[in-house]
Amino acid sequence: MNLVIDAGNTLVKTAVFQNNRLLDRQSFNKKEFSEKFQIIRKKFPGITHSVISSVTSDDTGIIAEVKKSYSLLELNQNVKLPFKNDYATPGTLGKDRIALVAAAVNSYPGMNVLVIDAGTCITYDIKTANEVYLGGAISPGMEMRFKSLHKFTANLPLVKPKPEVELIGKSTETSILSGIINGIRMELKGIIGGYSTEFEDLTVIFTGGDSQILSIPLKNSIFANSNFLLEGLNFILEFNRTQ
């Protein structure tokens, strides 16, 4: 039984897997980790191994606490990956992107896969049918775009996103909604179309916190999975346990 930990700047996501089956998933403030960790330990006494992906350098306390209980794999550039990494600067590749590509290898082996993660940033990552990671793209996320219009202009308000927007905005608020929401949707369609011409029988995975709002007008052939990153971390852990 494995404990997967995805530690962000303020939130921690945890998942418990047994034989690649998700048994438990939680999300909580980083300050609550010790309390939540003890609850998970008591609820799942069969956990023996853990993996952590941390985006900051101040998670030494979390790492030390987990190490006291389980064999811990820390995701970094030295960890063995279940795919060939052709990224020109592998040391700068985000851990979230690594985990998402690993999940694509695990769930869709032998297939060309584009993973789109709509979060703080929108990331695009492509792996080939030969399990080679080529790279992708990074674009500003939805919230970042709303905040930038408000911050870098004198009169534009900070608008909250809505899933239903018109093409033609009839007010400043609806114009911002149209520009950002429809702009991202057009971006997604264009990039997916570009990759589809380059890679035969392309499978597209759409995940991330904003995927529900942004995926509404996209084709049904696109799969959304909110646990995809956690599944990728678990696969990396299992891959390293067998090496």
Write out pLDDT tens, residues 128-163: 999 999 999 999 999 999 999 999 999 999 999 998
Percent of the chain whose predicted confidence (pLDDT) is above 70: 98
Residues 112 and 206 in one domain: yes
Task: Write out pLDDT tens, residues 66-87.
Answer: 999 999 999 998 899 999 999 9
234 has a pLDDT exceeding 70? yes
Q: Number of folded domains in the chain?
A: 2
| pTM for the model | 0.92
Residues 203 and 139 in one domain: yes
Q: What is the mean pLDDT of residues 14-23?
A: 96
Long-range contacts of 149-155 (CB under 8 A, 24+ apart): 149/176, 149/180
Instruction: Please indicate whether residue 225 or residue 124 has the higher confidence score (pLDDT).
Output: 124
Write out the binding residues for K(+).
117
Residues 186 and 117 in one domain: yes
Residues 97 and 31 in one domain: no
Distance CA 67, CA 37 (A): 12
Q: Cβ neighbours of residue 74 under 8 Å, at least 6 residues apart? A: 51, 52, 54, 63
Domain holding 60: CATH number? 3.30.420.40
Residues 93 and 60 in one domain: no
Write out the binding residues for substrate.
87, 94-97, 172
Distance CA 118, CA 121 (A): 6
Annotation says 58 is catalytic:
no
Residue 215: pLDDT band with limits 50, 70, 90: confident
Task: Write out pLDDT tens, residues 83-99.
Answer: 999 999 999 999 999 99
User: Which one of 55, 74, 93 terminates a domain?
Assistant: 74
Residues 137 and 225 in one domain: yes
Task: Write out pLDDT tens, residues 26-45.
Answer: 999 999 999 999 999 999 99
User: Which one of 74, 103, 133 terminates a domain?
Assistant: 74
pLDDT of 219:
67
- Determine the structural domain holding residue 66 and report its residue range: 1-74
Residues 164 and 206 in one domain: yes
Distance CA 20, CA 15 (A): 11
6's tokens: 């995805």
Write out the binding residues.
6-13, 87, 94-97, 117, 120, 172
Residues 50 and 16 in one domain: yes
The residues with which 115 forms a beta bridge, in sequence order, are: 125, 205
Residues 223 and 199 in one domain: yes
Mean pLDDT (the chain, rounded):
93
By the 10 Å C-beta count (0-12 exposed, 13-18 middle, 19+ buried), 160 is classed as exposed
Selected catalytic residue, list 59, 96, 125, 210: 96
User: Which one of 40, 74, 108 terminates a domain?
Assistant: 74
167 has a pLDDT exceeding 90? yes
Tokens 């793209």 belong to which residue?
137
Residues 169 and 240 in one domain: yes
Distance CA 61, CA 5 (A): 13
Residues 61 and 94 in one domain: no
pLDDT of 217:
66
Residues 68 and 163 in one domain: no
220 has a pLDDT exceeding 70? no
243 has a pLDDT exceeding 80? no
pLDDT of 87:
97
CA dist 3 to 38, 227, 239, Å?
Answer: 12, 14, 15
Q: Cβ neighbours of residue 19 under 8 Å, at least 6 residues apart? A: none
